[in-house]
Each structure stands twice: as C-alpha cells, then as structure tokens.
Amino acid sequence: MSETGALDSLLHEDRRFPPPEPFRRDALISDPAIYDEAAADPEAWWARWAAELDWYEPWHTVLEWTPPHAKWFVGGKLNVCHNCIDRHLEGPRRNKAALIWEGEPGDTRVMTYYGLHRRVAKFAHVLRNLGVEKGDRVAIYLPMVPEAAIAMLACARIGAVHSVVFGGFSPDSLADRIVDAGAKVLITADGGYRRGTLIPLKNNADRAMEHTPSIEHCIVVARTPSTARELDVRMSAGRDLWYHDLMRDIEGGVPCEPMDSEDNLFILYTSGTTGRPKGVVHTTGGYLTQCQATTRWVFDLKEDDRYWCTADVGWITGHSYIVYGPLANGATVFMYEGAPDWPNRGRFWHLCEKYGITVFYTAPTAIRAFMRWGEEWPAKYDLSQLRLLGTVGEPINPEAWMWYHEVIGEKRCPIVDTWWQTETGAIMITPLPGVTETKPGTATRPFPGIEAQIRSEAGEEVKAGYLAVTKPWPSMLRTIWGDDERFRETYWSKWPDTYFPGDGARTDDDGYFWILGRVDDVLNVAGHRIGTMEVESALVDDHRVAEAAVVGKKHDVKGQSIAAFVTLKEGHEPSTDTADELKQHVVEKIGAIARPELILFTVDLPKTRSGKIMRRLLQDIAEGRAVGDTTTLADPEVVRRLQQRYEEG
Ligand code: WTA
C-alpha cells in the first residue's frame, strides 16, 4: 500500500474490533497485564519462555549485549530438532499428525510425530555419511514438499547450517547463494508443480552447479517420477544421488547433536539496498525461544488446532511459522505445494474445508487477489472451522482487512496483522488475539518483551518517522554471513545501539504502530522483498543496456510492481521486442518474482548534480503523478521528455 493510503486509513479509521467474547473466553491469553509483566523485566520474561524448551545444559547468562552483537542464553546447550520432534514422542503427541500435506495434483501425505522423527533421524544419518559435519552449510532448493521440512530438521539435528533458497529463484541466484555460503551439499528435487506445469528444479540446479565448486553432492528428491520424463533429469555419477536410494540404504537414525545456544542454525538470503543479497544469520536458543512463544500466543495455538501458513519454506515465514514455531509447540501443520488458483480459484477454501483448518496465516497480496476473484469462491465451501486469521508481509489496506474479516472470517475470527522481517526472525509487532482491540491496517503493539519506537532521523521519539527496535530480542539476526561490517552499517548505524528495520511508521492515539512500508531502495512486490539494485544489475547485464533505474509502481493486487527506466547503448533501438527480452533476462538472472511490469526507454536518466539517480521523480513518472521540483537536476529536460513518453504510452 502506498504511504498516502496508509495515512488516509490511519487518519480516518475508527472501526474497532475487540476480541469476540467466545474467542476471548477460550484464549490462551486474555489478560492485558502480561504486557506490564514482560516490560518490568524482559530478560526474566524471555528466560521463562526459554525454560519451556528442553536444554542439555542450562544457560548461565540470559543476555550478553555488546552492541550490535547479542548473545542469548549464554552457555546453554540444546538442539532445535530435539525440541521440534523428539521431545514430543514421549506422550500422546507420538501418534499425532505433525505434517499434513497436499500436492498441487491432489496427492496427499500425513506424517505423525513418530513418522517425521524416523525420516528426519535417517536423513540426518545420510547427511552425516556424506561427510556433512557440524557447522557445514547445506543448500536446500525444493518445492513445498515434506522433504523440505525434513531436510531443514535433519540439518538442525546434526548441527549443519541450512540455507534454503526459494524454488522460484533462477540458477544464477541459486549459484550466488551457494557460493556465498560455501555449501557442501545441495538438496533439490527433479521438479515441482506450479499451476499445472513442472518447474525443472534439477535442471536449474545443474546450471547453478557449473559455478559452485564447494558442492560435493547433490541429493535429488523424486517429486514427479511419473511425469518427469519430460524434464530430462540427468544424474551426474558420483555427485548426484537419489534421496529414496539413500534413505532405503541407510540403517537407522542418528541422535541430536547438543548445540551451543549461539551456534548457527541457518542462513537465509534477503534483498537489501545493494545488488548483492545478504545472508541473514540466525542462531539456536534465542531463535527457537521467540518462535515458540510467538507461535503459541499470536496464533493462540492449541493441541487440536489444524494450522496452515501459506508461505513457502524458502522465505523466513516458512522457516519460523511452518517449521520451527509450530513444531516446537507440537502442533499439526498443514502444508500445500501449489498455487491458490489451481485447478480453480477455490483451491485454498477447498483445502480449508477438506482439512478442517482452524488457524490460517497468509499475505495481504493473496487476500487482494481473493477479493478480485470474488466472494463466490469462498462461498462454495464450509469455512466454519476457521477461528483465527493472520497476515504478514506488507501493510494490509483496510478494504482487504474488512473483506478478510467478513468473507473469510465470517466476522467470527480475530485477525492478527503481524509485522516482522527476515532479520527479526520472529513476529515483533502484532495483536494478541484474546487481548488486543484491532483496527484495520495496524499491527497494533509490540509482542510482550519487545520494545519499539518511532523515531526521527535524529533519534527523537516522534509520531511519524522511522520504526526502531530499542532493545535486543532473542530471535534477532546475529550478523550478515561473511560481512559483519555490512551488518553494522545496515542496521545499527542510524542511532546508537538501536536496530533500524528500514520501515517507516506512525503511531495513533492508542499508541498503535502503523507500518507505512520501506524507506530504503527495497521493493515489496506481492510480499516479496526485491532490491532495486538487484534488478538494475540484472538489466545492465544485458549487452544492450547502458544504464537502468528501477522503481516501485503502485499495484492493486501486488502492492507494488517493478518499473524500469532503461537507456540503451549506441546502436540499439528501443522496441517492444527489446523490452520483452529485457524482462525475460531479469527473470533468467533472478527469477519470475523480479519480472519488471513496465520498461520505459529513455535517452538519459534524471540525476542530481552529484550524479545520484532521482528515484522519487521516476516513481512519480511511473505512477503518472505530476513531477515535483526538479531544480536539483542536472538536466531538467530529461524529466520532461520522460514524462511525455510515459503519457504517450
Ligand atoms: C514488510 C517477512 C507492514 C516490512 C516476514 C518489512 C510488513 C518487510 C508487515 C520484511 C506487516 C512485513 N505490516 N509491513 N504486517 N510484515 N512487512 O524480510 O516492510 O520478507 O520490513 O519478512 O516486509 O520482509 P521479509
């Protein structure tokens, strides 16, 4: 949503939704006093949560804070896989469904905690036999199949550090991430289903592995055996191994490796303001503590819930709220492989009915697509099991919030609008569904134990400005993989000892936080973070392009779409074909999520006298607004010509 949209809703929003009485009565938390209790001593508060996990050795210090580096539960030893699986095997959860899965073609699988344990322990053994040791990196490039969770948990079991790469990324993007992390093993699949077609993951992986000398083995899950002949999957002898062969031949599992609370659990790459994605590093004890706490309280998670988070495991939401948070709580997680509109636009609601989903967590961009597809789709299905709805990924516009509330939640379900990031690891600002009175468009208040403020550039607390997190929190990123300087520079240089998330925010009379969106050169396209510089680098990588500038353009469903202003080198003429080829080039370099919607050719780009491209101005042009003050431009004529071109279409 645009900043002005959020502002309008903030200024005019007076609809209030207290927790519905029946919900409040049964909620795990309904007493607002817990906010004060947590604020009185946040370290003691988080230590109480950490104590809900199983530890091999207790910590001696809750928090060691030498800004910008924090260590949580120092000296403690635990294993994430043990806490997500093994410890549930003792009691009645042994035979409880841990994962219920449906593939896009309609195939289904159910794994109990016992069954999940057996597979994870065996696969951990496989990895160890291939020479994967504690601290080694393992790249995972899989569709949304149970093996994605199994692979992550198997890494955690032996102390290997996973780096999951979203299956929609290109071979180049995959290769960059493997090289940066120095991964030894790559786990992929022959293919995956998306809107009825096969995504050729192994072929992509082969192209990536031409540039990844660190990879010793590639393990391939046979996801599409009956249809995959058309994918022409080739196995390179010695390097490539079938998952099912390895699992058949291995004898038994391996136990969990006791890990230091501050040992690395995973790396996850995300976009920033430079062309190179950054490897966000998360560790063990603090991460799991906050995942467990937020999953339980934000989603009011109970033993008999059937919980569905629609994210892909390739993003942080999939890590924390499909795998680690829910399984640490012993929940039943539903996982779906494919697209929401396949074979028709009722698929999600059909799944909710079929599996009796009670808690549903998705993104505003999906909600806006559902709105556009019409109420007739959810109306065909029985959604009466749903009791709680969540959103994440971008600001939710009030119309979408109200539609979600009325059409999907049938006015019965509270909505939790959760603000957080890859870097924060877990939810930071959110309603508690049995406590908080919600308003459409605001993530409301920091989770108990979290402290946030809205600050000016100078660091004063203000009503509108930048979001700031003022105290360390357990699941915070520890560094950027291989680049601690970038970690300091990006997040900790704006104000002393305070985390800068890169978002703008406002507050209202209730003290609620209204997140307005990114204030840096990061776009949010359909809930995916994409750096403008990444797309620019992909464009100038084409031999015809001299210079490119990328901006976000308001989009009704995606929130933002990508608009690129391109200058061609001498001897190349703009044409629709060239524009299409450039779009395709970006898809090949990064992935389909980065495809520019609009390419506009220009002879020059508007720059300040110091040579900085004026993105604000380009955005005004892309969004068709009047161009503002141009006096700081080197050549104001450029803008006039650009705008004319735009208006001519
Ligand atoms: C945006 C996704 C408003 C924000 C978990 C943040 C949101 C970025 C919300 C992180 C929300 C996420 N309201 N904005 N509820 N949730 N954002 O790393 O700009 O993929 O900085 O993590 O998404 O995106 P990321």
- Domain layout of the chain by residue ranges: 21-504, 522-648
Give me the pLDDT at residue 347, please: 98
Rounded (10°) angle between helices 576-589 and 532-540? 120
Give the phi and the psi of residue 384 in degrees, each rounded to 5. Answer: -70, -15
Annotated binding site for ATP: 393-395, 417-422, 503, 518, 529
Nearest Cα to Cα of residue 201 among 155, 247, 239, 166: 166
Distance 76 CA to ligand 1 centre (A): 31
Atom nearest to 421 CA in ligand 1: 22
Cα separation, 573 vs 406, in Å, equals 51
- Higher pLDDT: 527 or 77? It is 77
Q: Which residue has the tokens 């074979």?
A: 343
Lowest mean pLDDT among 127-141, 253-267, 295-309, 599-613: 599-613
Mean pLDDT across 124-138: 98
Distance 392 CA to ligand 1 centre (A): 6
Give me the pLDDT at residue 109, please: 98
Lowest mean pLDDT among 293-307, 386-400, 449-463, 604-618: 604-618
Evaluate whether 564 touches 539 at the Cβ level (below 8 Å).
yes
644 pLDDT band (50/70/90 cuts)? confident
637 pLDDT band (50/70/90 cuts)? confident
Would the CATH topology of 21-504 be identical to that of 522-648? Answer: no
Distance 310 CA to ligand 1 centre (A): 15
In one-letter notation, the amino acid at residue 379 is A
pTM: 0.95
Atom nearest to 422 CA in ligand 1: 18
625 pLDDT band (50/70/90 cuts)? confident
649 pLDDT band (50/70/90 cuts)? low
- Ligand 1: residues with CB < 6 A are 270, 315-317, 392-395, 417-422, 443, 501-503, 515, 517-518, 524, 529
Q: Which helix (H) or strand (E) holds 65?
A: strand 61-66
Pairing of strands 388-392, 359-362: parallel
1 pLDDT band (50/70/90 cuts)? very low
Distance 443 CA to ligand 1 centre (A): 11
- Higher pLDDT: 632 or 180? It is 180
Query: Which range has the top average pLDDT, 272-281, 306-315, 627-636?
Result: 306-315
| Protein residue whose Cα sits closest to atom 8 of ligand 1 | 421
| Protein residue whose Cα sits closest to atom 11 of ligand 1 | 419
Identify the architecture of domain 522-648 in CATH. Answer: 2-Layer Sandwich (3.30)
10 pLDDT band (50/70/90 cuts)? low
Long-range contacts of 239-242 (CB under 8 A, 24+ apart): 239/209, 239/215, 241/130, 241/217
Give me the pLDDT at residue 5, please: 55
Give me the pLDDT at residue 2, please: 45
Annotated binding site for Mg(2+): 540, 545
504-541 pLDDT tens trace = 999 999 999 999 999 998 999 999 999 999 999 999 99
Q: What is the ipTM of this complex?
A: 0.99
pLDDT at 553 over 60: yes
Give me the pLDDT at residue 636, please: 77
Evaluate whether 197 touches 233 at the Cβ level (below 8 Å).
no
275 pLDDT band (50/70/90 cuts)? confident
Distance 418 CA to ligand 1 centre (A): 8
Cα separation, 65 vs 89, in Å, equals 36
Atom nearest to 396 CA in ligand 1: 13
Q: Which residue has the tokens 């001299």?
A: 546
Considering the chain, what percentage of its residues have pLDDT values greater than 70? 96
Evaluate whether 551 touches 596 at the Cβ level (below 8 Å).
no
pLDDT at 118 over 50: yes
Give me the pLDDT at residue 638, please: 80
Q: In whole numbers, what is the pLDDT of the chain averaged over residues?
A: 94
Sign of CA dihedral 459, 464, 466, 472: positive
Annotated binding site: 194-197, 317, 393-395, 417-422, 503, 518, 529, 540, 545
Structure tokens belonging to residue 532: 């403008």
Nearest Cα to Cα of residue 385 among 333, 349, 341: 349
Mutate to test the pocket of ligand 1, among 269, 281, 419, 476 (most ligand atoms within 8 A of CB): 419
Identify the CATH class of 21-504.
alpha beta
166-210 pLDDT tens trace = 999 999 999 999 999 999 999 999 999 999 999 999 999 999 999
438-467 pLDDT tens trace = 999 999 999 999 999 999 999 999 999 999
Considering the chain, what percentage of its residues have pLDDT values greater than 90? 88
